[in-house]
A and B are shown apart, each in its own frame.
Chain A
């Protein structure tokens, strides 16, 4: 006999706050790599490889400017994924942290939502820093860059939910390598960050690529930054729906994992 699952937003906020307290003590360790990663990507792929890429981008921009918005989206994806996979798994299975939290007024569904919010926060930090670093290179500075910020949050929302849903169903930590190798890596390479998949892939594969959330995320961020609005509502809606469905599933599953 279970009570109805109604998430308490205050409970979720307190779980989010707990993560902030942990982060507060050591943010400088976690944050520094966030600055270097975009720097290396933009140097290697934009400045280096980009020199040899002559056929211009979708909007006639240079290669670095072409890939930058996609890399921003991918960095939000990675931030969200790391936070909701290994970190949550360890808290769930080894630290028994959630078992402790749910003995208070906070219920497990609040904990799951709080972790989701936190992962969105981390994705915002990852993606936001990446966005700032692109300014050091010759990305055109425009007010539209501000539009990328809510888009980064939406990408974080979707990929946190995906990561949380995956974590909520697995029992062995090694299974994450499938998630990273078979989902995140191909997403990164074939979601239109580095080349337009429509032009290079056979139609069957294009269809697969277009179904991945990162494809939508890349289109969304690139479109907003370039002021190319067509189809963006669909991209945003896609991320919102996938995120909401999987996030709700993850909350439900995690509740049953701990309250048993």
Chain B
């Protein structure tokens, strides 16, 4: 049974392209007002799932409801209340900045003074007031991203769908975009975002699903996902040359979870000082050892045996 506050309801949703299964029977719900994330590596099925939610990819099987309406049948009505910010810049290069916004309003049936009022407001939100009459090609990468976001907000959507927003952006631009998204969340919008950046998901999302090979492998709040799957701390260290495997085994004998790559080991622990002391007691020399909190990247690694980004 869907809970009363659910604005996106996904049930056993499947998308196949010939023999390729892009989305393999996923189920989840997004609640009104929450910042919901989909975390996973490239090819995990995030974008396909996003496209199904914003009604440009028909489903193969399963159920999908957005704002209580069935996907496909009520595509227009759903899209009218959804804001979409796609992964690739697909702004209208032949139109000016402000016309990019105004034509989007027209596409959604908003016209005249109301459209102009919203365009003014969103140009301010996107810090693009001075570029109002500029052509799209004159904008920098970060400005294009902000304009794409503003465009997705022209219909004052209840849900904003953001696909891989910060891929390829430099850190400062990324931070700026994060602030914009947090501002939207504070205004009560429901946000659904896909990303393959663990730090992004951890910082922004109230709740998320971790995806791999078209399936959901974990669901929950970022901190809960970490807490439920791993000890809170990670000791990162390097063994002496050629001693990596030995150190890994020693840690395992102490009952600790370990991931090794060459002579580098990550040891998951509750008490870092105690673990380091016991390893040193056994005569292991740990080079460049440091302790950090466990994160979603580690959760992905634990659940799949692979790193999130290769």
| Known A-B contacts A1-B72, A97-B90; A102 and B56 likewise in contact (beta carbons under 8 Å) | yes
Report yes or no: A99 in contact with B56, Cβ–Cβ below 8 A: yes
Query: In the complex, how many angstroms separate the beta carbon of B85 from the nearest chain A beta carbon?
Result: 9
CA of A107 to CA of B80 in the docked complex: distance in angstroms? 11
| Known A-B contacts A14-B107, A259-B56, A259-B58; A100 and B86 likewise in contact (beta carbons under 8 Å) | yes
CA of A53 to CA of B60 in the docked complex: distance in angstroms? 65
CA of A259 to CA of B186 in the docked complex: distance in angstroms? 33
Task: Flag B109-150 by CB within 8 Å of A: 1 or 0 each.
Answer: 100000000000000000000000000000000000000000
Report yes or no: A103 in contact with B56, Cβ–Cβ below 8 A: yes
Report yes or no: B56 in contact with A17, Cβ–Cβ below 8 A: no
Report yes or no: B75 in contact with A3, Cβ–Cβ below 8 A: yes
CA of A259 to CA of B58 in the docked complex: distance in angstroms? 7
Report yes or no: B90 in contact with A96, Cβ–Cβ below 8 A: yes
Query: In the complex, how many angstroms separate the beta carbon of B181 from the nearest chain A beta carbon?
Result: 18
CA of A107 to CA of B78 in the docked complex: distance in angstroms? 12
- In the complex, B94 has a CB within 8 A of chain A: yes
For A107, the chain B residues whose CB sits under 8 A away are: 75-76
Q: Which single residue of chain B is at the shortest CB-CB distance from A260?
A: B57
- Cβ 8 A contact of A100, one of B79, B80, B90: B90
Report yes or no: A21 in contact with B95, Cβ–Cβ below 8 A: yes
For B73, the chain A residues whose CB sits under 8 A away are: 3
- In the complex, A171 has a CB within 8 A of chain B: no
- Cβ 8 A contact of A104, one of B94, B99, B108: B108
Report yes or no: B58 in contact with A2, Cβ–Cβ below 8 A: yes
Query: In the complex, how many angstroms separate the beta carbon of B15 from the nearest chain A beta carbon?
Result: 10
For B56, the chain A residues whose CB sits under 8 A away are: 99, 102-103, 258-259
- In the complex, B237 has a CB within 8 A of chain A: no
Query: In the complex, how many angstroms separate the beta carbon of B137 from the nearest chain A beta carbon?
Result: 12
Task: Flag B53-64 by CB within 8 Å of A: 1 or 0 each.
Answer: 010111111000
CA of A82 to CA of B104 in the docked complex: distance in angstroms? 26
- Cβ 8 A contact of B80, one of A10, A105, A258: A105
Query: In the complex, how many angstroms separate the beta carbon of B39 from the nearest chain A beta carbon?
Result: 23
For B96, the chain A residues whose CB sits under 8 A away are: 25
Which of A1, A14, A105 is most buried by chain B, counting CB atoms within 10 A of its CB?
Answer: A105
CA of A258 to CA of B103 in the docked complex: distance in angstroms? 20
- In the complex, B169 has a CB within 8 A of chain A: no
- In the complex, B155 has a CB within 8 A of chain A: yes
Q: Which single residue of chain B is at the shortest CB-CB distance from A95?
A: B93
How many residues belonging to B are interface residues under a CB distance threshold of 8 Å? 36
CA of A4 to CA of B152 in the docked complex: distance in angstroms? 25
CA of A106 to CA of B84 in the docked complex: distance in angstroms? 13
- In the complex, A22 has a CB within 8 A of chain B: yes
| Known A-B contacts A3-B73, A260-B57; A105 and B108 likewise in contact (beta carbons under 8 Å) | yes
- In the complex, B243 has a CB within 8 A of chain A: no
CA of A147 to CA of B165 in the docked complex: distance in angstroms? 54
CA of A258 to CA of B54 in the docked complex: distance in angstroms? 13
- In the complex, B303 has a CB within 8 A of chain A: no
CA of A96 to CA of B94 in the docked complex: distance in angstroms? 12
Task: Flag A1-37 by CB within 8 Å of B: 1 or 0 each.
Answer: 1110000101100100110011001000000000000
Query: In the complex, how many angstroms separate the beta carbon of A6 from the nearest chain B beta carbon?
Result: 9
- Cβ 8 A contact of A18, one of B60, B74, B103: B103
Query: In the complex, how many angstroms separate the beta carbon of A61 from the nearest chain B beta carbon?
Result: 43
Q: Which single residue of chain A is at the shortest CB-CB distance from B104?
A: A104
CA of A258 to CA of B57 in the docked complex: distance in angstroms? 9
Which of B61, B76, B79 is most buried by chain A, counting CB atoms within 10 A of its CB?
Answer: B76
Task: Flag B267-306 by CB within 8 Å of A: 1 or 0 each.
Answer: 0000000000000000000000000000000000000000
CA of A258 to CA of B99 in the docked complex: distance in angstroms? 24
CA of A260 to CA of B58 in the docked complex: distance in angstroms? 7
Q: Which single residue of chain A is at the shortest CB-CB distance from B72?
A: A3
Query: In the complex, how many angstroms separate the beta carbon of B272 from the nearest chain A beta carbon?
Result: 47
- In the complex, B6 has a CB within 8 A of chain A: no
- Cβ 8 A contact of B88, one of A14, A18, A96: A96
Report yes or no: A105 in contact with B79, Cβ–Cβ below 8 A: yes
Q: Which single residue of chain B is at the shortest CB-CB distance from A108?
A: B56
- In the complex, A241 has a CB within 8 A of chain B: no
Top-9 shortest CB links A-B: A104-B107, A103-B84, A96-B90, A100-B90, A3-B72, A105-B80, A22-B94, A2-B58, A106-B107
27 contacts between A and B (CB under 8 A): A1-B60, A1-B71, A8-B76, A14-B103, A14-B107, A18-B95, A21-B99, A22-B95, A96-B88, A97-B90, A97-B92, A99-B86, A100-B86, A100-B90, A101-B107, A102-B56, A103-B79, A103-B152, A104-B80, A104-B107, A104-B155, A105-B108, A105-B109, A258-B56, A259-B57, A260-B17, A260-B57
Chain B interface residues toward A at CB < 8 A: 17, 54, 56-61, 71-76, 79-80, 82, 84, 86, 88, 90-96, 99, 103-104, 106-109, 152, 155
Chain A interface residues toward B at CB < 8 A: 1-3, 8, 10-11, 14, 17-18, 21-22, 25, 95-97, 99-107, 258-260
